[in-house]
């Protein structure tokens, strides 16, 4: 088998560690293969190419759910979804290629140095992938470690640092087939990762139940094709109202998904109807659409918003989604791309406009909520207003167009945010997976895909700010520098 084909196959295998399969052992094995492929590359161009083909395989399989999104719009043919998956994979593979090229360029013939540098480079290039051109942070390699105790290392070194740990662990398997020194180094790496993982697990509490505020998370199981149909809007709205349930003696925090209400919430009948469904001390957090002034060249514009509504139907606060989905919520280079027949995947001829960055909303009687709408939750280090730390994060979402693989991957990344920040995460989606996640990343309650139901539970407590909550993405970069320093030291000692 040609090395490039072998690299592509290894990339495909690496994606099997992501949700919904969760075969993390295969992800580590795939990185052992990648380390070997990079080490044996005859030159820099070959190393770059092998890293690139590995990335193509990983992203093409891991992001297959994007193709499903194209089946929910009529402006473009559905088969274009698979073209989009391939094109996106070809672009995103540039980042693994850079990591492979950097490791090959500086390893100087030492396998252990290569493994250390590959892990360090992966941290940097994964951060770049999440940052450049608005970023696409989906499926960081570290998320494959979520079923293991190593996942709690995210509280110390963040998701990108956790990805470096995954690459190190895979590289240790590669070292195990080397010289006596490399075998000893492999054992030392495995022991260090295992020891630190156990230490992180030992200091990380969970699962954390709680006696906090009473919650009701509503999942109505409204399919994507039924969400934006005018003749079904009223029926959908009243399904939310019915599932909100009768008021109780105790105040409730009721959570509806992203864009749950298609009506104007500032006046008209909708606020009065919502008020009639709430108890005298209830609060509602619901997604909705806020009208906006369109920029030049756009027919209309709006904000993807989250509203806090009191029992009188009044709006107490609003958050506008800040990190938007390219092609999903707005069309980049609209004059050019619309001229050749491309459009947004979500319905609408106009664009969603971006709001300000992460913001904390005060909820009288229920504490403080950090809001991250749908896609925003995947960006490590960007989900909390550090100047006004919330008591929990609410992640209203619409995963109905994400296929079978997208929703469990989305939930997995939300769990990493809980671990990183030491905060519970509440998710409400129309079709699943809605969930209540505690501050240690444990899923306390969830509703599966395609199910109608509610989660009635208590809000679990936040924990003291984690190391990552205090210092953010400085920590994975510090870990990266430590790996580089170790590589330099090893290189000098073995010279």
Annotated catalytic residues are 258, 321, 374
Sign of the CA dihedral running 399, 378, 127, 28: negative
| Pairing of the two strands 252-255 and 283-292 | parallel
Between CA 150 and CA 12, with CA 51 as vertex, the angle to 5 degrees is 65
Helix axes 180-203, 154-175, angle to 10 degrees: 160
CB proximity list for 266: less than 8 A, separation 6 or greater: 315
DSSP state of 312: T
Q: What span, in angstroms and rounded, lies between the C-alpha atoms of 54 and 57? A: 5
Q: What span, in angstroms and rounded, lies between the C-alpha atoms of 92 and 184? A: 35
Between CA 416 and CA 259, with CA 285 as vertex, the angle to 5 degrees is 85
Q: What tokens does 192 get?
A: 């260090």
Q: Name the residue among 126, 104, 90 with its Cα closest to residue 47.
A: 104
Place of tokens 């252990």: 112
Q: Which residues make beta-bridge pairs with 307?
A: 286, 318
Integer distance in angstroms from the first to the last C-alpha of the chain?
Answer: 34
Place of tokens 């994007």: 66
Residue 454, helix vs strand vs coil: strand
Q: What tokens does 138 get?
A: 């989906």
Q: Name the residue among 78, 197, 64, 32 with its Cα closest to residue 138.
A: 64
CB proximity list for 368: less than 8 A, separation 6 or greater: 360, 361, 362, 388, 389, 390, 391
Buried residues in 135-149 as b, exposed as e (16+ CB within 10 A): bbbbbbbbbbbbebb
Sheet holding 367-371, edge to edge: 360-363, 367-371, 392-396, 425-428, 434-437, 443-447
Q: What span, in angstroms and rounded, lies between the C-alpha atoms of 328 and 258? A: 14
């Amino acid at each position: 088998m040609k090395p490039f084909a072998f690299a592509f196959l290894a990339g495909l295998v690496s994606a099997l560690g992501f949700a919904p399969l969760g075969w993390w052992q295969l992800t580590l094995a795939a990185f052992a293969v990648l380390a070997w492929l990079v080490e044996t590359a005859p030159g820099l161009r070959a190393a770059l190419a092998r890293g690139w083909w590995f990335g193509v395989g990983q992203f093409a399989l891991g992001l297959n759910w994007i193709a499903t999104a194209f089946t929910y719009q009529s402006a473009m043919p559905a088969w274009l979804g698979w073209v989009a998956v391939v094109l996106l994979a070809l672009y995103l593979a540039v980042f693994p290629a850079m990591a492979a090229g950097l490791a090959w360029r500086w390893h100087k013939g030492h396998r252990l140095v290569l493994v250390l540098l590959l892990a360090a480079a992966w941290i940097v290039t994964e951060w770049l992938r999440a940052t450049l051109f608005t970023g696409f942070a989906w499926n960081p390699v570290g998320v494959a470690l979520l079923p293991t105790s190593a996942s709690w290392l995210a509280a110390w070194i963040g998701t990108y640092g956790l990805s470096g740990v995954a690459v190190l662990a895979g590289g240790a398997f590669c070292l195990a087939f080397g010289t006596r020194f490399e075998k000893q180094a492999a054992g030392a790496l495995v022991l260090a990762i295992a020891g630190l993982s156990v230490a992180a697990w030992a200091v990380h509490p969970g699962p954390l139940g709680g006696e906090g505020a009473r919650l009701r998370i509503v999942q109505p199981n409204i399919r994507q094709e039924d969400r934006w149909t005018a003749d079904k809007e009223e029926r959908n709205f009243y399904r939310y109202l019915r599932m909100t349930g009768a008021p109780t003696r105790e105040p409730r925090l009721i959570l509806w998904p992203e864009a749950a209400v298609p009506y104007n919430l500032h006046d008209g009948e909708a606020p009065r109807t919502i008020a009639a469904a709430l108890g005298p001390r209830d609060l509602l957090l619901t997604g909705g659409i806020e009208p906006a002034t369109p920029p030049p060249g756009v027919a209309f514009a709006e904000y993807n918003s989250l509203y806090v509504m009191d029992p009188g139907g009044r709006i107490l606060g609003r958050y506008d989604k800040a990190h938007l989905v390219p092609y999903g919520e707005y069309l980049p280079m609209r004059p050019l791309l619309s001229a050749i027949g491309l459009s947004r995947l979500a319905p609408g001829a106009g664009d969603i406009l971006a709001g300000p960055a992460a913001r904390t909303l005060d909820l009288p009687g229920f504490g403080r909520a950090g809001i991250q709408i749908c896609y925003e939750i995947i960006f490590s280090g960007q989900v909390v207003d550090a100047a006004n730390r919330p008591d929990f994060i609410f992640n209203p979402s619409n995963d109905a167009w994400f296929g079978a693989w997208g929703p469990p991957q989305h939930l997995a990344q939300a769990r990493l945010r809980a671990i990183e920040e030491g905060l519970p995460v509440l998710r409400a989606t129309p079709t699943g997976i809605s969930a209540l996640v505690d501050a240690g990343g444990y899923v306390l309650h969830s509703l599966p895909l395609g199910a109608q139901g509610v989660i009635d539970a208590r809000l679990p407590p936040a924990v003291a700010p984690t190391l990552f909550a205090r210092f953010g993405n400085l920590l994975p970069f510090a870990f990266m520098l430590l790996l580089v320093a170790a590589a330099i030291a090893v290189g000098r000692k073995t010279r």
